[in-house]
Amino acid sequence: MDRLENTVRPYAWGSTTAIPHLLGVEPTGEPQAEMWMGAHPGAPSRTARGPLTDVIDKSPDRELGAETVAKFGPRLPFLLKILAAGAPLSLQVHPNLQQAKEGYEDEERRGIPVDAGHRNYKDANHKPELICALTEFDGLCGFRDPVRAADLLAGLEVDSLKPYVDLLHAHPEEAALREVLTAVLSADPEQMARTVTEAAAACERLGGAYAPYADIARHYPGDPGVIAAMLLNHVRLQPGEALFLGAGVPHAYLNGLGVEIMANSDNVLRCGLTPKHVDVPELLRIVRFEASDPGVLRPGASPGGEEVYETPIDEFRLSRYVLAEGAPAHDLTRATPQILLCTAGSVQAGEHRLGPGESVFVPAGEKAEVSGTGTVFRATVIA
């Protein structure tokens, strides 16, 4: 079992206080957005044996287990993060596995550098993800029913939004959502900026259900993503609740601290709320234009005190243990690789004492017991 030293990424949208507060250290005044735990080549965790990428590369069968390697290849299939949003992230979708493979191969054939700003596919993998709230956590997830979206836009009483309201009422669900999102993202930038400014002022005035969009507009004035965001469900997670984001589902995280786990990929198609490249035709090819409930997940109890967040994919499996003082140790030994993350209290994981924000990597089949008082998240795979 290896104690992990993890990199904190200073993205501009990050909170300046949430991760330092969790770790019990003084804030630096700079944004601290994500702490990465895993073997992503962009910021691999460090161990006493070297970077986790190198540790796995030297002996993938030993570290990951033969079944994991056979199913996913010789790399850790997931990336675990602590995510601290102090401002809205970009509105985005992720491709499914087939779309990712095709997109990656196409951009490779065309010779687009992997680090190019207009590159969509950094790898050939999909990127399903799960976010579990540690504090109240606000996000956008999936399309609203078109009629509900029309009512929300109509309530702003902005004349330039009326054509979108009419479209949402006039077409079947898929066509309505597709036409409106296409129109918003393809509109004349100056005209759309004026529409967004007028809509933002109305959101500020009305408050209530409009308050999240007023906040988005303060961070991204004039951005067409503000109107696109109003097509989506707003959801507020309570601590311990989670969202699963599958392929093609538009989403954005707005504010809060959470544990995030995802397939090991960087593939993102952006819809707005960003200065980065927005490839509208490719985005429209990937988005699933269907209204959906956000589907808030609550952990289901399993034997031994494990609370599992059930998802339909195998690259990751997230669960948690809420440990009580004096309770017997939990045996977490498993034939697949694991990362154990403490988010509250003081926990003993093997020979390592973990406080909030501290983590260990457990190789496949390695003896793993946890005890103490606090909360431990367990990340692994289904092989």
Closest listed residue to residue 76, CA positions, set 95, 57, 48, 94: 57
Which is it for the CA torsion 184, 190, 194, 197, positive or negative? positive
- What is the signed CA dihedral for 210, 213, 215, 217, rounded to 10 degrees? -130
Length of the chain: 383
What's the burial of 29, exposed, middle or buried (CB within 10 Å: 0-12/13-18/19+)? exposed
211-219 helix and 189-206 helix, angle to the nearest 10 degrees: 140
**Residue 98, SS3?**
helix
**Which residue in 270, 317, 320, 378 is the catalytic one?**
270
Closest listed residue to residue 341, CA positions, set 82, 137, 106: 82
The Cα diameter of the chain in Å comes to: 65
H or E segment to which residue 106 belongs: helix 97-109
Can you say whether residue 272 is alpha, beta or left, with left for phi > 0 and alpha for psi between -120 and 50 degrees? left
Give buried/exposed letters for 201-219 (b at 16+ CB in 10 A, else e): ebbeeeeeebebbbbbbee
Alpha-carbon span 134 to 138, nearest angstrom: 12
C-beta atoms surrounding 189 within 10 Å = 10
**Residue 133, SS3?**
strand
Active site residue 110: no
Query: Do the bridges between strand 369-380 and strand 232-237 make them parallel or antiparallel, or are there none, so unpaired?
Result: unpaired
Catalytic residues: 270
